[in-house]
Amino acid sequence: MEKIVIIGSAGSPNNVIKLLKINQKLNIPILLCIHFEKSAIENFANSIKKETGHEIFIVSGPKTLKSGLYIAEGGKDLVFKTNRVLMSGVYKKTKTHPSIEILLNSIEKLNDKNFHIFVLSGLGNDGANIAQSLEQKGVKFYIEKKPLFDYLPRSFLNNLKNYLHLTINEMKNIIIQINEKRRRELVK
């Protein structure tokens, strides 16, 4: 099953909502790993649900993956335990939680090329050191063109050879295509 991961930091929350306003029922899991203060996660989740109408799961314990949006509970990291089970917790002392690096490390261990990672605006380089390894395993990357803060996207660009450099609307179209492809598979 195709899985989408949207990562970002400063300047990305509004674009997350733009990406998710696809006017379609979700047929795929989408994981959100956006740097947020612990206390802001619930409000962010509520805003996403209100703006997009999609079901969003705040992951606190083991959660079996199905269609919908997933975000770690405040102050914790989102990780894959298996291809189909997510968890949240603090897995390493890092400056920010949720940590992009910790999520991407858990994806790397799965050996699953059915991931599409969308890199949005942000500061720092959280997770960029794992990008090349994921790329070699067949994971696809989409990097925001002209982000508000280009530090995070640029750090991924510097570690990748194959990626698409896209506007938010172009990224949204890719998400719609992946979602429609999954809908057709489910109908068969």
Asked whether 71 and 41 are in contact (CB, 8 A), the reply is yes
Q: Angle at Cα 142 formed by Cα 136 and Cα 145, nearest 5°?
A: 135
Catalytic residue from among 35, 77, 88, 121: 35
Asked whether 146 and 167 are in contact (CB, 8 A), the reply is yes
Asked whether 84 and 98 are in contact (CB, 8 A), the reply is no
What lies within 8 Å, CB to CB, of 109 at 6+ separation is 80
Q: Is 77 a catalytic residue?
A: no
Q: Is 35 a catalytic residue?
A: yes
Q: Is 116 a catalytic residue?
A: no
Catalytic residue from among 9, 12, 88, 155: 9
Q: Which amino acid is at 60?
A: S
Catalytic residue from among 97, 99, 126, 155: 126
- The set of catalytic residues is 9, 35, 126
